[in-house]
Amino acid sequence: MSRDKMVGIKDIADRCGVSPTTVSNVLNNKNNVGRQTRDRILEAARELGYVPKRAEETIHKRKKNTVAINFSDFDAQFYFDVLHGISDYAVKKDFNLLICTKENFSKYADSDSICGCIIMDWSTDDATILKIADKGIPMVTLDRQMPHKLIKNMVTGNYESERTLVEKLVDSDFRSFAFLGGIDSDDNRERYRAFRDVLKENDISFNRNLLYEGDWTEKSGAAAARLIMLQPKMPEVLVCANDLMAIGAIRKFQENGIRVPEDISVCGFDDVIMSKYLGLTTVSVPNYERGYLAMQALADIIDGTGNFDNFKIGARVKWRKSIKSVT
């Protein structure tokens, strides 16, 4: 069933082999249906992405000029370019923007003045997002996979671009690696998976003692660098899941007289502004374009011309001086 076709009671009835009346009774919380049948119907409704008719109609009744942006102040620097892209398209199409952090997102997104949402904050829990979508508010998520009838997922090509980076390192005869990951998320898992896949495919062993956990911040990058410096033998290259952690590691290495890239190479992911000035090799994510396309997609959905198909944003490696002897 296509994502842009609303699921109805008959679809659920066909899936469960019951009558539409039985499905209606369950969805309206009537007590005349057995527990096993009730559970089966509710599970089918969830899997099919059923939106109650009153919620579906809400999309068309809401004011069509204000979009809520679920913004993370935890990693504000990373999202500024995304916000710039969102704002440019919103102004072009006469939309107002309401910027909400995790703490007040639920309150404002549930307002009758909101006609859609863009989800940027990875720390906002899935249940909160799904609850709002169930009320008929269309959404676009960035770097988050959420199957729902009213949610369009826009993801970065994390796996493909990280593979390109690590494959080039291997081709340049690097054989000793450390990996610094961020907080558990789709981004982090995909980047680490690509890293491990390339090493495995090239028969390069990976010492689990050189797998470090950060939280996307410079401080956690510095902490990982301190641990690396305690190793009997430092790795040839530190692969970081984002730029801020890589920058923190580089600064800590340099404070202790360890040269980058002569003594250890370092790379990141995202291409934040500071990366260019520090000469950090990284994967460049087109954040302005991501924001612009996210707002464009949401505007099209609100206007009835868009769809909820997933969309993947490409990213490319930028080679700079923090990596030694790349051929």
Q: What is the pLDDT along the chain (327 residues), one digit of tens a residue?
A: 444 456 678 888 888 888 888 887 777 767 777 878 887 888 888 777 766 554 444 444 444 688 989 887 655 566 788 889 999 999 999 999 988 877 778 777 766 778 899 998 877 888 888 888 888 889 999 988 888 989 999 988 999 999 999 999 999 999 999 999 998 888 899 999 999 999 999 999 999 999 999 999 999 999 999 999 999 999 999 999 999 999 999 999 999 999 999 999 999 999 988 999 999 999 999 989 999 999 999 999 988 888 899 899 989 999 999 998 776
Class of domain 9-50: mainly alpha
Q: What is the domain partition of the chain in residue ranges?
A: 9-50, 63-156+286-314, 158-285
> What does the pLDDT read at residue 59?
47
Confidence at residue 294, expressed as pLDDT on a 0 to 100 scale: 95
CA distances from residue 213 to 23, 129, 169, 284 in whole angstroms, order as listed: 47, 27, 22, 22
- Measured between alpha carbons, how far is 180 from 144 in angstroms, rounded to an integer? 21
* Tokens encoding 83: 């916000």
Spatial separation of the C-alpha atoms in residues 292 and 151, rounded to whole Å: 17
CATH superfamily, domain 158-285, is Response regulator (3.40.50.2300)
Distance of alpha carbon 146 from alpha carbon 9, whole angstroms: 22
Q: What is the pLDDT of residue 58?
A: 46
At residue 74, the pLDDT reads: 57
Domain covering 63-156+286-314 in this structure, CATH number = 3.40.50.2300
Q: Match 């960035």 to its residue by tokens.
A: 142
Least Cα distance to 41 among 82, 11, 85, 70 occurs for 11
Residues 6+ apart with CB under 8 A from 165: 239, 267, 281, 283, 317
Tell me if 51 sits within 8 A of 150, measured CB to CB: yes
pLDDT score recorded for residue 260: 96
pLDDT value of residue 35: 77
Q: Would you say 323 and 261 are in contact if contact means Cβ atoms under 8 Å apart?
A: yes
Does residue 261 have a cis peptide bond before it, meaning omega lies within 30 degrees of 0?
A: yes
Whether 63-156+286-314 and 158-285 share one fold: the answer is yes
